[in-house]
Amino acid sequence: MQDTSGARERYDLAKSLAAEPSEASARRLIDMLSDDGSFELEDGVFLFDVPNTVLTVKSAACESLTKMADAMWHVLVEALSGAMQETRDALVSALGRMAADPRSRMPEAAHDAIVEAAQASTQARHCLEAAVWERDFARRVRDNELTEPSAFWRARLVHPNWSAREAARQALADLEKRKQKASDVEPPGATAETRNREEQIRLRDACALSTPELLARIYADPLDRYARVAFEQQLENRGDPRARAIQLMARTNEGKTLGCKERTELAALIERHWREWVGPAAKLVVPRSKPTFSPVFADGFLSEAKLRIESEADLELARDPVFATLKWLICDKADVVLRSTMKLLRTLSGSLRSFAGVCELPYELEATLAFVNASDWAPELDARIGASRAPVFRNLRTLHAKLPSAKALGWIVESWIPTRVESIYVDGTPVPLQPLMRVFRANHQLKLIRSSVDGAPGMTCARRYNERDPVLEVSLDYSDQEQAFAALDAIDGSNWILHIEYPIRSQDGGEKDRRQTLAQQRFSSFARVDVSDPIEYEDDHGM
């Protein structure tokens, strides 16, 4: 019999949260649900994962969190204590009995959703998380007098494959952004005249600052539009060419197309003045290749740059606040450059050691894409990344990793990465596919894992909206067929669909049927085997 004290603690915490919602209690519950494995029935198998039915649960969860928590508690105690068989039919039967009992009557929508979840026989925690977070966010939405759907459900609608924890985390981030922008939101009953007067006051206060003060304010908060407008006005008043560059960049941001003459003018302005605009830290910027050697600027500030840090003096320059406006940083010592003020950063590229250092930073940023060259891999880096909480990458969605050898795969599959990202691309060397398949199946927010190496089998783990089981896609375009098939022979394909794409279109239906028959016979461990002629593969998950 398994110890159910942890489950009981979760249940009590969920009920207290329902009675008096609080962000602290909700965060604690999510951490408990994620870190404690007492809900686990067997390796990788949990109860109640409802990524496709969570919207059905929504209305029921809002109506009665307590009833859902009670019902789930009874089912979990029975399942965990061994009082009922750990099978789908027994679980569905137990839910049916509970639904028939007036004392624990659940809304019909909730019952149907949980039954469907039970038939899937996966993670238990998501259903309870959804109910808890929706209750808390619904209250917060009402308190903020917002009429749109709660941040949590918007996140689930936009990203249906996210776990409840990821959706909740994104919702919290959205709410925090809303708080930061509260001063710019029109208060109830405010007139356009009042709003314009407030904006004029803020702009006037910004214009009263000196140029160094404005730059310091922009670097402290790159989203401060009043400081940016005041800075541009000061530049224009003294005829600074940077003002003209900002005007041209602003036109491209508005969706307008620059003419050939204007594009040439902007490129010449940046090429001539970018070192002056960056200041002493320009020494660290690696010139780009032709046709232009200058880094990328946006709205008059550094936006994309590759930095080279080689000495102690370079380390001091790397701390220059001028890099606060970067959206894409390429650097093998990025952990030295990053600051909590880099609110625009979305992409980070560098070495594995740099990635490990960034994972250990204590603050959160908005980076969604990372490129990692793991040629400097060492076992200690696996341990550092695995032990980190990586708040900087709290919003990471896509990882591109270039590995020197198969043994360098551990920092990906044995860390927080598979639980957080949506897409993983592995390049550089052939890697064993079974670990990738295991983490893909266990983490439902993952949409894609692609392993692609020239001359080796190109294989992709993917989810299709119309398929319940994950799909292993094998493209024979750039790999030897026998080499690819030999790799598949060693794979346990239970509960997987195998899709093989041939590089040459079959001449007739008979040839395609022969391919299908041979594949089914050879790879019988898979739930289903499909073969196809070449198709265009649409990749919406990477760059």
Residue after which a domain boundary falls, among 143, 158, 182 = 182
Whether the upstream peptide bond of residue 291 has omega within 30° of 0, thus cis, is yes
Q: What's phi and psi for 400, nearest 5 deg?
A: -110, 120
For 262, counting Cβ atoms within 10 Å of its Cβ (0-12 exposed, 13-18 middle, 19+ buried), the class is: middle
CB 128 within 8 A of CB 32: no
Residue recorded with tokens 């649960």: 57
* Closest to 215 in 3D by CA, of 109, 313, 341, 97: 341
CB 495 within 8 A of CB 468: no
3-state secondary structure 147-179: CCCCHHHHHHHHCCCCCHHHHHHHHHHHHHHHH
Residue 34 domain boundaries: 5-182
Same domain, 30 and 70: yes
Same domain, 206 and 170: no
Same domain, 166 and 203: no
Residue recorded with tokens 């009920």: 15
Residue 439 lies in a domain: no
Q: How far apart are the C-alpha atoms of 331 and 306, rounded to whole Å?
A: 6
Confidence of residue 257 (pLDDT cuts 50, 70, 90): confident
The average pLDDT across 519-535 equals 84
Amino acid at 53: T
Q: How far apart are the C-alpha atoms of 466 and 470, rounded to whole Å?
A: 10
Strand 458-462 and strand 448-451: the pairing is antiparallel
Same domain, 62 and 166: yes
Q: How far apart are the C-alpha atoms of 383 and 385, rounded to whole Å?
A: 6
Same domain, 202 and 143: no
Range picked from 153-157, 267-271, 491-495, 515-519 for highest mean pLDDT: 267-271
Beta bridge partners of 381: none
Average pLDDT taken over every residue of the chain: 72
* Closest to 355 in 3D by CA, of 380, 337, 332, 378: 332
Can you read off the two tokens belonging to residue 493? 């394909």
**Pairwise pLDDT comparison (252 vs 40), residue with the higher score:** 252
Can you read off the two tokens belonging to residue 348? 């980070």
Residue 341 lies in a domain: no
How many domains is the chain partitioned into structurally?
3
Amino acid at 200: Q
Same domain, 99 and 156: yes
Interval 464-496: pLDDT, tens: 867 788 999 888 765 667 778 888 888 888 889
Query: How many helices and strands in the chain, by DSSP H and E?
Result: 23, 12
Interval 259-298: pLDDT, tens: 889 889 998 999 999 999 999 999 999 987 655 556 889 9
Q: Where are the beta strands (DSSP E) in 403-526?
A: 423-427, 448-451, 458-462, 471-475, 497-501
Whole-structure pTM value? 0.62
Same domain, 176 and 217: no
Same domain, 9 and 100: yes
Can you read off the two tokens belonging to residue 330? 């390429």
Same domain, 475 and 536: yes
Confidence of residue 182 (pLDDT cuts 50, 70, 90): low
In CATH, what number is assigned to the domain containing residue 543? 3.30.750
The average pLDDT across 396-404 equals 94
Residue 120 has pLDDT above 50, yes or no: no
Confidence of residue 453 (pLDDT cuts 50, 70, 90): low
Q: How far apart are the C-alpha atoms of 475 and 537, rounded to whole Å?
A: 10
Residue 49 lies in a domain: yes
Same domain, 172 and 213: no
Separation in Å, CA 485 to CA 2, 458, 482, 489: 42, 11, 5, 6
Same domain, 88 and 223: no
CB 248 within 8 A of CB 262: yes
The average pLDDT across 502-516 equals 72
Percent of the chain with pLDDT over 70: 58
Residue 259 lies in a domain: no
What integer pLDDT is reported at residue 156 of this predicted model? 47
Same domain, 162 and 209: no
CB 125 within 8 A of CB 29: no
The average pLDDT across 168-196 equals 59
CB atoms under 10 Å from CB of 18, counted, come to: 20
Residue 503 lies in a domain: yes
Residue 324 lies in a domain: no
Residue after which a domain boundary falls, among 239, 259, 277 = 239
What integer pLDDT is reported at residue 464 of this predicted model? 80
Q: What's phi and psi for 307, nearest 5 deg?
A: -110, 140
Residue 388 lies in a domain: no
Percent of the chain with pLDDT over 90: 34
Residue 245 has pLDDT above 90, yes or no: yes
Which residues have a Cβ under 8 Å from the Cβ of 33 and sit 6 or more positions away? 10, 39, 125, 128, 129, 165
Residue 367 lies in a domain: no
**Pairwise pLDDT comparison (455 vs 194), residue with the higher score:** 194
